[in-house]
Chain A
Amino acid sequence: MTPPRPRILLVDDEQQVVSGLRRALSRRTNTFEIATACSAAEALVALAMEPCAVVVSDMQMPGINGIELLDEIARVTPHVGRVLLTGTAEADAATRALPTAQRFLCKPANIKTIADTCQDLYHYAKLAQLAGPPAEDGGEPLAVGSITALGIDAATIERARTAVSAGRDALLQVICHPALAAALLHMTGSEFLGARTEVSTLTEAIDLVGTMYFEQMIDSGLLLALDGAAADPIIALAERGRARMQSAVDSGASPTDALAALLLEVDRLGTSDITEWTGLRDPCGPAALLGLWGAPALLVERIAERWAAEVAAGRIGDGCIASAPPVVSSDHTHMAGE
């Protein structure tokens, strides 16, 4: 007996959209089975009855809207990939969706884009399952997919906010921070900003996103500001990322590789609650997180390689803060432009 194929659930209040997508997707892919729902409520019932790999949802629907639906899915079944497919032209739509939607696609989207996005999310979800520690009760392993916010110290957020009004060059001074950089790469993965070009440096990412959307990103809920003692471990983690980045640069690594070094532990900043910080989590795969968020494939690959090497060398995991490399306090910010 062949194992059941993974399922894509299409959700849109316009029946014609889901049936058109179903017809086209069924012809395009043999990997997935296609299911449809005409409202968020219907989608939640379908999800409860049969497991799904990816949900592709419209945004504006009567009753529960697409963002609320993905929110619920992130909470209940975090391993399910979350895609928003919307025809909206509102400027803040992409940033509002940032915490919960792993991918943001614009209508009209061609079937290749939709199929590739689903394939991609399915792939990274599996990668995350391999990377994460097995759950104690034998259930689903801790899912990277549950991450809907990244912890960051309030001082850095404040500096970023000030930098926004000072312009692009000032932004480049603060962007070398794992949480800010990851959020920015998540943003560039959104189709709303036009070309989904493969960015390879943070400078390119800032230029693609622009200061207005950068500011919206700061306020989107994707970044969770922490104060006082709660911020200490994440400050240490960010410092360690920067130190890694610096030594990568010093040893002549490529810009992508240096960026990978900065982001090596970004998943540990992740939290599943955009209002409350639950502390540094166990490492569950930074490559999977950035892959789910649509970061450039090359970067994700470099992160995965480095991460595997660090884990093999025992430098990642429990107690990694204690064994952190010495914090380098020099100015690393010039890195961003390279």
Chain B
Amino acid sequence: MTSSFVRAATPDLQAHPAPTILVLDHDVETYRGQLAPVARVLGASSRDRAIDVVRAELASGARVQAVFVDLALLGGPGALRELLALDPDMGCVVVTADDPPFDEICGLLARERCDDWEVLHRPFAAGAVLHRARQAVASWWRRCRHADRAADLELRIGEANAELTRSHAATAGVLAELRGANDRLRVEMVERTRLEDERRLANKLEGIGQLAAGIAHEINTPTQYILSNAEMLESVLTEWLPAIETLATTGGSWPEEAGGASARQLLAELPELDTDINAAVTSILSGAKSIARIVGAMREFSRSDAPEMRLADLNRAIHATLEVVRHEYRQVADVELTLGELPQVHCHVGEIQQVLANLIVNAAHAIDRREPKTQGIIQIESLHDKARGRVEISIADNGIGIPPENRDRVFDPFFTTKPVGRGTGQGLAIAHNVVARHSGLLTFDSTPGAGTRFLVSLPVRGPVRDRS
């Protein structure tokens, strides 16, 4: 049951007939070594050769699902442009030793998929080639499904048009048909947007839902000491109010018949009482502030409702996130913050907070799984890379680390090594998608037994499509 679920959610190399993958690079054999068992690998060492290969495939009625292009190769981005002109659905993997030229590559791609491409860094990490191929082929399947849908819609519009021609005489009827087709189309589009919104909301709710128990605990603690101290003050007031009134009305003469004895006793106990009352009031105020802080952080956390991206202070987002997830890490790790000066970043700050929350909770879980159990450290750093116009946030833990064999599956939906009930395996997959939507990069390095460091890198000016 589980495996078919996974399959449906992640079209991978095994789930479909063997895909065809084109490699525009010198060392085709390296790729073939990793991909051969699951894919048909075609190699090309020049732009012209690559174009010929794709033409031949198309001519024979086949498609190339994904292409690896080495940017260092003469005419890399240009080759990509021509290949995409031949078949715009192709999944793209850009091979590079440096940061890829985001804007240039995004410009080559159709608007709706301008951040839907992969980067393969040299030197290749174990399993990285296979992983990127899987992502690129998955993206091809996604697009072709959309394409099918669009083709279907076009077909229906075509039918409506044909109807129009046939019933030329009855203009009113024809118009109604046309309007109907249009309405259906509009409904279809609205429906699609709604589904996307729903999915996003569901992800958000999952995030908050998983944290709700912890947040409740963090609020119940200060509520407990506010309540105890308030009850103590109430009892003090009830007991001493009559004596205080006596003191006030008798002007210090304290006649016995007006409660003088009790007033004198109050005066005797006052020094000790005073300390207790002060401590109680201080505690109530600090408890109320704690609750206000947590509630304030939750309010920030739920701001992902905003449909458009806004400028946000990511250091503040880090603080708010820590407040909300405090319960998840407090028992296992201390947090060390090294926050640099950051510019305001154009983003969905609520979504970015969810990404951070996921990474922090994961770090805590990785620490919690160490043996023997000792308090760990989660280091969070932020910095502004002015030269590249990016803000980077890194979250490092000294937990158990990620074994090499799992590294290329870290971002796969439903992949998890956590015990049942600890994670759905969705967290990092969602985080990856969110960061990708921001034209950012989510990467990690890990040493088993020593820890893992995740790096979120976001363009300060927001995703490419929002700038144009």
Contact of B231 with A24 in the complex, beta carbons under 8 Å: yes
Interface size, B (range): 20 to 34
Q: Report if A107 contacts B (CB, 8 A).
A: yes
Bound-complex Cα distance A89 to B213 (A): 5
Q: What distance in Å separates the Cβ of A218 from its nearest Cβ neighbour in chain B?
A: 18
Given known contacts A62-B331, A89-B216, is B229 in contact with A107 (CB within 8 Å)? no
List, in ascending order, chain A residues with CB within 8 A of B216's CB.
87-89
Instruction: Verify B213–A24 contact, CB threshold 8 A.
Output: no
Bound together, the chains give a CA A106 to CA B225 distance in angstroms of 13
User: Closest residue to B277 on the A side, CB-wise?
Assistant: A23
Q: Do the beta carbons of B228 and A23 come within 8 Å of each other?
A: yes
Nearest B residue to A92, CB-CB: B421
Interface pair A24/B331, CB less than 8 Å apart: no
Task: Say yes or no: A62 contacts B375, CB within 8 Å.
Answer: yes
CB-based contact B283/A107 at 8 Å: no
Interface pair A20/B283, CB less than 8 Å apart: yes
Which of A24, A107, A111 touches B220 (beta carbons < 8 Å)?
Answer: A107
Q: Are A27 and B212 in contact (CB under 8 A)?
A: no
The answer for the CA separation of A62 and B376 in the assembled complex, in Å, is 12
Q: Does B130 lie at the interface of the complex (its beta carbon under 8 Å from any beta carbon of A)? A: no
Residue ID in chain A nearest B219 by CB atoms: A87
State which of A17, A28, A60, A90 has its C-beta within 8 Å of the C-beta of B224.
Answer: A17
Query: CB distance B225 to A20 under 8 Å?
Result: yes
- Note all chain A residues with C-beta closer than 8 A to B224: 17, 20-21, 85, 87, 107-109
The answer to whether B217 touches A16 (Cβ under 8 A) is no
Asked if A27 and B221 sit within 8 Å, CB to CB, the answer is no
> Is B24 interfacial (CB-CB < 8 Å)?
no
Interface size on A, residues (CB 8 A): 25
Is the CB–CB distance between B279 and A88 below 8 Å? no
The answer for the CA separation of A272 and B441 in the assembled complex, in Å, is 56
The contact string, 1 if C-beta is below 8 Å from chain A, for chain B 215-258, is 01111111111111101100110000000000000000000000
Q: Among A23, A86, A111, which residue has its beta carbon within 8 angstroms of that of B280?
A: A23
A2 within 8 A of B: no
Across the interface, do A23 and B220 meet the contact criterion of CB distance under 8 Å?
no
Contact B221 A107 (CB under 8 A): yes
Chain A residues closer than 8 Å to B225, beta-carbon distance: 14, 16-17, 19-21
Within 8 A of A (CB), among B330-378: 330-331, 375
Beta-carbon nearest neighbor of A14 in chain B: B221
The answer to whether B232 touches A27, judged by C-beta atoms less than 8 angstroms apart, is yes
Contacts of B279 in A (CB 8 A): 19, 23
Complex formed: what's the CA distance from A106 to B217 in Å? 10
- The docked-state distance in angstroms from the alpha carbon of A27 to that of B269 is 13
A110 within 8 A of B: yes
B87 within 8 A of A: no
Contacting pair A107 B223 (CB below 8 A): yes
B408 close to A (CB within 8 Å): no
- Of listed B227, B279, B330, B375, residue having the most chain A CB within 10 A: B227
Mark interface residues in A91-108 (1 if CB within 8 Å of B CB, else 0). 000000000000000111
* Distance between Cα atoms of A90 and B210 in the complex (Å): 10
Interface: B286 (CB within 8 A):
yes
B221 with A23: CB separation less than 8 A: no
A90 CB contacts on chain B under 8 angstroms: 213
Chain B hits for A108, CB < 8 A: 220, 223-224, 226-227
Asked if B217 contacts A60 (CB within 8 A), the reply is: yes
Contact in complex: B228, A89 (CB < 8 Å): no
Nearest CB in chain B: distance from A8 CB, A = 13
B276 contacts the other chain (CB 8 A)? yes
Complex CA distance for A16 and B375, rounded to whole angstroms: 22
B213 touches A16 (CB 8 A): no
The minimal Cβ–Cβ distance linking A115 to chain B, given in whole angstroms, is 10
Q: B287 at the A/B interface (Cβ < 8 Å)?
A: yes
Tell me, in angstroms, the Cα distance from A21 to B221 when the chains sit together.
12
A15-41 near B? 1/0 per residue, CB < 8 Å: 011011101100110000000000000
CB distance from B244 to the nearest CB of A (A): 17
**CA of A24 to CA of B230, assembled, Å:** 8
Q: Kindly state the separation between the CA atoms of A85 and B227 in the bound complex, as whole angstroms.
A: 14
Find A16's partner among B219, B231, B286 (CB 8 Å cutoff).
B286
Residues of B within 8 A of A86 (CB): 217
Contact of B229 with A20 in the complex, beta carbons under 8 Å:
yes
Q: How far is the CA of A107 from the CA of B227 in the complex (A)?
A: 10
Question: Measured between C-beta atoms, what is the minimum distance from A97 to chain B in Å?
Answer: 15
* Residues in B whose Cβ lies below 8 Å from that of A60: 217, 331
Task: Given A16-B286, A19-B283, answer yes or no on A24-B228 (Cβ-Cβ < 8 Å).
Answer: yes
Chain A 260-306 residues near chain B, CB threshold 8 A: none
Q: How far is the CB of A319 from chain B (nearest CB, A)?
A: 48
- Write the B59-84 contact mask toward A (1 if CB under 8 angstroms, else 0): 00000000000000000000000000
Q: Decide: A20 and B212 in contact? CB cutoff 8 A.
A: no
- CA separation between A19 and B217, bound complex, in Å? 19
Residues 264 to 310 of chain B near chain A (Cβ within 8 Å)? 276, 279-280, 283, 286-287
Q: Cβ of B235: which chain A residues have Cβ within 8 Å of it?
A: 24, 27-28
Residue-by-residue, is A65-94 near B (CB-CB < 8 Å gives 1, otherwise 0)?
Answer: 000000000000000000001111110000
Distance, CA A107 to CA B219, complexed state (A): 9
User: Closest approach, in angstroms, between the C-beta of B229 and any C-beta of chain A?
Assistant: 5
B283 and A27 within 8 A (CB): no
CB nearest neighbor in B for A18 = B225
Residue of B nearest to A88 (CB): B217
| Best-surrounded residue of B224, B225, B276, B375 (most CB of chain A within 10 A) | B224
A27 vs B273: C-alpha distance when bound (angstroms): 11
Q: How far is the CA of A14 from the CA of B223 in the complex (A)?
A: 12
23 pairs across A/B with beta carbons < 8 Å? A16-B222, A20-B226, A20-B283, A21-B224, A21-B225, A23-B229, A24-B228, A24-B232, A27-B232, A28-B235, A60-B331, A62-B375, A85-B224, A87-B220, A87-B221, A87-B224, A88-B217, A90-B213, A107-B220, A108-B224, A108-B227, A109-B227, A111-B227
* A-B contact sample (6 more), CB < 8 A, given A19-B225, A107-B221: A20-B227, A23-B276, A24-B232, A62-B375, A87-B221, A106-B220
> Closest 3 interchain pairs by CB?
A87-B220, A20-B228, A20-B225
